[in-house]
Amino acid sequence: LSKRRNIGMFGSQSRQTKGDVVDKARAARAERALNKNHSALMIKIQSYCRRYLYMTNLRKEVRSSIDEFNEKATQPTEIFNKMRWLLFIFQRHIDHTRLEKLCRQILSNMTINDSPKLWYVTLAISNQYLPAWLYQAKKLLQICCEQLAIIKINKKNELEAMQLYLTMLVTFSSTTSWKLMSSKVLANKNFRPVLEQICKQIILHLINNEFFKNIKNFLWNNTRSGEIRLSKISLSGVIVIIRRAFDVCSKNSKLLTQFMESIMAYPALLYHVKKLSIESLSEFRESQVLEVILDTYADGNRLSIITTSLGGYYSFSLLGNLIQLSQCSDKVWVDKLATFKSIIMYLLSYCHDQNSVKNSNATVHHPLFGWCSKSLSSELQDSVPLIGQQFQNLWMPTAVQLFFNDIFEKSDEVTSDVVQPKKAGESSKKKKGLFGRVFSKRQIKEFILPSAKVKTDNELIKRVCSTCAMYNTAIATLPEMRTDILTDDIEMYQENKPFTLDELVKMATLLNQMVFYAVWRLDVFTSSKATGSKYSHEYKQMINAGHMLLMVLYDRNCRRSFTPENHWIIRELNYTEFTSAINEGANRSYVLLRKIAHVIPREKRVDLFRKLVADDKKSLGIFADTSTGRPSHTYITINRRRLLEDGYEQLTQLPAEAIKRTIKVQFVNEQGLHEAGIDESGVFKEFLEETIKKAFDPELNLFKVTCGDEPRLYPSPTSYIHDNHLSLFEFIGRMLGKAVYEGLIMEVPLALFFLNNVLGGQHSALYSSIDELPSLDPELYKNLNYVKNYEDDVEDLGLTFSFDEDVLGKIVTHDLKYGGQSIPVTNENKLSYIHLMAHFRLCKQLKRQTAAFIGGFHSVIKPQWLQVFSGPELQLLIAGENTTISILDLKKYTKYLGGYHSKHRVIQWLWDVLKNDFSEEDRCKFLKFVTSCSKPPLQGFSNLQPPFTIRFVEAENEEDREPLGRVFLRALSIPNRRNQSPSRLPTASTCFNLLKLPNYHSKQILREKLRYAIQSNSGFELS
């Protein structure tokens, strides 16, 4: 059989497969679709071309028609039709002049009296035109609003256009100015509600098309250097249309959010309104803007949506406007005071969190927030001082009285302590205000009595707590503003502002008792994992606020006392109970030490400090056996000619632990020979004294002396002349710390501001440089106060935000802020200038030197050990107590060597001379002669290390070994005339606190020789 062959129609063999046929069909369909698309595109292009040509011709005709339009009195229908065509073909950059022409015609016709047929709004009451007119009005005002948003008033025509668009918006957003409303046309017709509803629809359309955003852009475009450059009439018009828009959207939370983000968050808007057009504030008051905001945003979730959208700085602007709005609103919102405070608290906390430093080295300085993690928006740069002035409203008397309204209203009727004759009609009782109610004797007694109980669930307590918490948060969030809030020492001590000193004493008494009771008795700051805290967050906030105010008063008192002696001591505190609590690790004891250590007597705190040092030595094994394996001593060799240099080179590289351990010194004298003797801590004491004396010598230029009656030492701003000056400061800090660690007294008078830096006082929320400036430069402080109280224009003084310093004969200018040399000091910014100047002199100028010294000091003395002391108390710890010398106390803790004893006649003469014959000045010289320090040690001579010792001095040319009989005769106080040497002077070894006293044969000779020795400062060599 043969195979069958595939033969085509015409006899040829077909070689196409099925796949080939499908591909050809697919290609044919694609070609047909492409041709169809080409046809559709051609039709569309032709359509666009025809439309373009039609619109081009139409625009020419419409524009020509409007250009030829006569602006005289015209029928509203004609204006309506012209406007209808213009809006249809409107192009912003071409047709804005034609739009303005028609708008002027509309407004012109609206002012014609008794001619309803010419009024544009007459079409709104016609059933034939109403829908189209309403659409046109919405579109027209929307374009007016958009045009307004891009206007920058630089030329006359732009100013006229701005006024025109504003007038259109004001006119057609309300029926108030429509003559139609009082016309006979509406007589006996119920059109009034309809027309008012039409206006609301127009406004609602504008709001839905970014009305608030357009108004914000308009304000931004016309703001220069933080000031809105609008006339009073123009700004009033803006506020009017804002108020009308607010009335429409006040019940819609979504639309109200737009109002909050664009209007209420506009930087210092209400400040400008108050300044340029104070009457316009009534618009906000009449619409109850604040009340609506409080009702709407009482729920924190809605407020969080706004803050998330705005960010930190614009939330800050919102907060400023809300604060100012509260001061110009009616007091009908007082019942919402709690909500207002919670909103303020939320915004403050949000701003603090957003603008605080968050693990970033690239931080920037904000004029109010201090150091922040984000740079300041250029838009807000010039507005920040104005927002700061809005925040000042929180501390105005009206605001304080409002927030503490309960206390003011419920003031007590109390009987006067002093009975005086009554005048006619005069009551024997007087009403006490805020101060009298809060700081009355009865209130103080309630806190002092052990049986007193604080009812934290009381509504009044809760309201006061929330107010205190709000102010506390405000100060913490705005650290740079506290300088404008706090009074300085002149206002407080001389002018008695805002309280008298007697009132401040009462205030301090109550606050001291209140905080102590909360910390120690109520244990407010302790919480357990199981039950949590027993006290509300608001109550803790109140205690924190009270503690902040208490510490302000205490710090002021430390600088310049205004309270009685021992005023701050709480006698109710049982020290034995307190010590037990510390040993048990009770949290309240540590909180008390951290917050109000001053309630404990200073002597007890010094004992506690010395116990901490002793425990530290024990933990280091300093008193333990040397078999522990750790080195117990460090040996150094010091050339007396290079005392500071050798000490620095050999000790600066040692770890802090080695500095705390025993250091033994081998001196090399001026001849290059090793001095005889073994260092049993006395030689090191001499090394330490001489090293510190040389390091703090102003001639070395590491430290300088303050101006004023009591010169004090502080780091020299020009210490950089030494290449290694920062390392030297760290070394000096270590050496002074070592002296304090060992309980050695160093007569180094440090400036108070520098001591406070060592204690970390600059980190306090209420720290103010201006308060400490007198301890550095009283003359500068006086001059800055002159600027502060200057009644005329401060610009007349020609000051700028800069400081000129004489550095080694060359004038160097420092900017107090960026570009400070070109920023004049004015009445508005003079407070900022004063505080920046004080901050520069006290902190910025000495920052590196101070930090290096503190680093060295804290490497030996832990910062937490010092938190129980004030600046003056730290000075006492370093240099001893500036008090009269108690000879009885010195006598009690004196040791005797070489045959002397307490009953020896020479010793009795000595004590009698010191007590009865020497003046206080002589006694100080004597103490300096034997210990190198003219002040007694803190808490008496029991703490003098080594103890004061008196040794019998051998007669000249005697053998070192002495016959036993002669020692026996001295012990019995039997004079040995042969060994008496009346020409010999007393000498001392200050490193051992040792007095070498010859065995004089008369009291008179002892007195004369001793006085001569101490006045000549004989020391070792004069004998």
Which residues are the active-site residues?
991
* Residue 85 contacts residue 62 (beta carbons within 8 Å): yes
Which of 759, 933, 785 has its CA nearest to residue 853? 759
Beta-carbon contacts of residue 19 (< 8 Å; ≥ 6 apart): none
Rounded Cα distance between 331 and 733, Å, is 58
Rounded Cα distance between 908 and 929, Å, is 19
Q: What is the three-class DSSP state of 421?
A: coil
* Residue 906 contacts residue 994 (beta carbons within 8 Å): no
Which of 419, 587, 620 has its CA nearest to residue 519? 587
Measured from the Cβ of residue 558, the count of other Cβ atoms closer than 10 Å reads 19
Rounded Cα distance between 234 and 229, Å, is 10
Strand 223-224 versus strand 949-952 pairing type:
unpaired
Largest CA distance in the chain: 168
Rounded Cα distance between 509 and 446, Å, is 12
Three-class SS string for 191-245?
Answer: CHHHHHHHHHHHHHHHHHCCHHHHHHHHHHHCEECCEECCCHHHHHHHHHHHHHH
Which residue type is seen at 161? Answer: A
DSSP states of 776-841 = T-HHHHHHHHHHHT--S-GGGG--BSEEEEEETTEEEEEESSTTGGG-B--TTTHHHHHHHHHHII
Rounded Cα distance between 179 and 165, Å, is 20
Which of 608, 861, 656 has its CA nearest to residue 759? 861
Rounded Cα distance between 266 and 695, Å, is 56
Strand 662-668 versus strand 633-639 pairing type:
parallel
C-alpha distances (whole Å) from 972 to each of 544, 784, 911 are 67, 69, 19
Burial class from Cβ neighbours inside 10 Å (0-12, 13-18, 19+) for residue 251 reads exposed
DSSP states of 725-755 = HHHHHHHHHHHHHHHHHTT------B-HHHH
* Residue 174 contacts residue 287 (beta carbons within 8 Å): no
Rounded Cα distance between 403 and 389, Å, is 19
Rounded Cα distance between 1003 and 1009, Å, is 10
What are the two backbone dihedrals, phi and then psi, of residue 483, each rounded to the nearest 5 degrees? -70, -30
* Residue 569 contacts residue 597 (beta carbons within 8 Å): no
Measured from the Cβ of residue 1012, the count of other Cβ atoms closer than 10 Å reads 13
* Residue 439 contacts residue 507 (beta carbons within 8 Å): yes
Give the H/E segment covering residue 406. helix 405-409
Rounded Cα distance between 32 and 24, Å, is 12
DSSP states of 635-677 = EEEEEGGGHHHHHHHHHTTS-HHHHHSEEEEEEE-TTSPBPPS
